Amino acid sequence: MPKIILPPRSAQRQEDTWDIASVFPNTAAWEAEYQQVQMELPAFEKYHGKLNEPTIMAEVLDAYFQVTTRAQKLSMYAELLTSVDTSNEEATALISRAATLNGQVSAALAFIKPELLANGAEKLSQWANSDSRLAAYTHYLEDLLRLQAHVRSPEIEELLGALNDPFTTTHSVMRSLTGAEIRFQSATSSTGEEYPVAQGTTVTLWSSTDRETRRTAWENYHDGYLAFKKTLAHNLEGQIKQNIFFARAHGYRSALEARLAVDHIPVEVYHNVIDTFRRNLSTWHRYWALRRRVLGYKTLHTYDLYSPLTTQLPALPYTQAVDLIAEGLQPLGDEYIQILRRGCLQERWVDIYPNQGKRLGAFSSGSPGTHPFIFMSYDDSLKGMSTLAHELGHSMHSYLTWQTQPLVYSDYSMFVAETASNFHQAMVRAHLLRTRLERDFQIGLLDEAMNNFHRYYFIMPLLARLELEMYERVERGEALTADILNGLFADFLAEGYGSEVEVDAARDGITWATFGHLYANFYVFQYTTGIAAANALARSILASQPQAVERYLAFLRTGNALYPLDVLQQAGVDLRTPEPIEATFTVLADYVERLEQLTSAME
């Protein structure tokens, strides 16, 4: 493989980076806004004890969502700065200060919900129906009443709000440790070349055709985490205890119930993911067996799961990837495609390429009034194109929500967040399977699809199972140690791999520590529900079902104006049952069968 040279951040061409100056032109402007928000918080004191008439209620709610959105924008800017250069100490300081401000905002506004609820359901409903400014808050007020039993007194809510600042420390420690302080030994190829192992190079190295490069890159990466396993385990345990504390403070029976209650999701939906996954492990065992046969190995290891099944694939430069994505999404209409292309090629939504200090992974981030930015490390591959399509799904979801909804509903639940992203991938994949019939391209496309499913339909359900086990143990008063977590996850992987993949207990076991997603409690299961919903919605559009496109675009524009299960049901998929998850395992099985047919002559 070619030598990997990571340029410094300063060497990136401006047109290949996101337009962060459109958020704040510089840190001085960020500082001015920070100070302004801080200065305005005391003004909320005048509303204490006065939220008992519609006009004041509407005024304070407008101000509430405006100031929280401004604080969100400050945090988002700091996160963007540090993501592309984790060694940037100034950006790290901005993140800390933004967390402090968010804690101050939470504390200053904590009186609002208890005082609103003190009016009673009848009055709130009457006022929402009679006051035009309050009418926009009807769903918000209904949702507040639904959770009334879990809202504490203004004094307690103020105290709990103030805890948001110090309780961000565990997440900050994880980011600093994994993003900037853990050092990895270089990978070595079978011919002696060395390649730097970093958060931005692992995907490329693990997918090398040279097995020794893959092995050393994978082992050295996980060894870096193993060197800090005790610190990482204790830090995650601290995060779990914080979430359990908040759940109990608000009167919930468990942290899982508390987290899902926010989105009005029954806990059964979580268990559906784990149970359905375990019922369908035979599909994964069949796929691992296929990989082992095609690669010609007697024993398959985890580092072999990313090895390409074909090397005869064309390079896909960034602009060509944008063209292919646009072609696949054409059923959504010209306006949708024009917005997407403008964001990728003109407005600089995307920070495209890897550089020194750039963290691992990809994400979409933004705030009402900004671009829906995309962070990634594009590498001219099918995987890179798929990742770009995924993140563009998030960004288009955000863009259309922000263009449609008032601030109160301008966000959307994490439960639906992974639907639009995986929908993009499903649509583009279907288009390419239909139009690019060369055998190697088909193998490469299905191989990439299986890598994507490996992450969302294999690793994420396993992490969800681990997460539930962790929380239940801590809720019972038991301790978590690195050895316990490593042992649990190694056992879960062994079940998932069956007899086809050999488990390295220590290195496979520490996989949990490489996923910062666990600091967003009970988030990982939503990748699986998201990909299930995405495939169901894509199937309806590809089958030209009446109004399927209109229903999907309406879903993107709804934001938080409806509960997530309801907005998905209106779009055409019911995740209250395990059926969509089962149906997507059928998609997975079809991909495996296609690969078996395409690769039969290669074995």
Instruction: Name the DSSP class of 437.
Output: -
- Please give the C-alpha separations between residue 20 and each of 74, 96, 192, 458, in angstroms, as whole numbers: 12, 19, 40, 35
Helix, strand, coil % in the chain, rounded to nearest 5: 70, 5, 30
Question: Which among 84, 14, 77, 19 has a CA at the least distance from the CA of 361?
Answer: 84
Structure tokens at 11: 């060497």
The partner residues of 187 in beta bridges, in order of sequence, read 195
Q: Residue 160 has which token pair?
A: 């709990």
DSSP annotation of 208 reads -
Q: Record the tokens describing residue 281, joined without a space.
A: 């492990």
Q: Which residues contact 192 (CB under 8 A, 6 or more apart)?
A: none
Sheet containing strand 350-351, edge to edge, reads 350-351, 373-375, 363-365
Q: Which amino acid is at 410?
A: S
CA 294 to chain centroid, in Å, comes to 32
Which run of H or E residues covers position 301? strand 300-301
Q: Tokens for 491? A: 């056992």
H or E element, residue 374: strand 373-375
User: Which two three-digit tokens encode residue 217?
Assistant: 């890159």
In the annotation, is 391 catalytic? Answer: yes
DSSP 134: H
Q: Give DSSP secondary structure letters for 532-593.
A: HHHHHHHHHHHTT-TTHHHHHHHHHHHTTSS-HHHHHHHHT--TTSSHHHHHHHHHHHHHHH
Burial state string for 63-92 with b = 16 or more CB within 10 A and e = fewer than 16 = bbbebbbbbbbbbbbbbbbbbbbbebeebb
**From the candidates 115, 219, 237, 391, which is the catalytic residue?**
391
Closest to 287 (Cα-Cα) out of 589, 597, 491, 532 = 589
Bridge partners of 188, per DSSP, are 194
Q: Which of 203, 527, 531 is nearest to 381 (CA)?
A: 203
Catalytic residues: 391
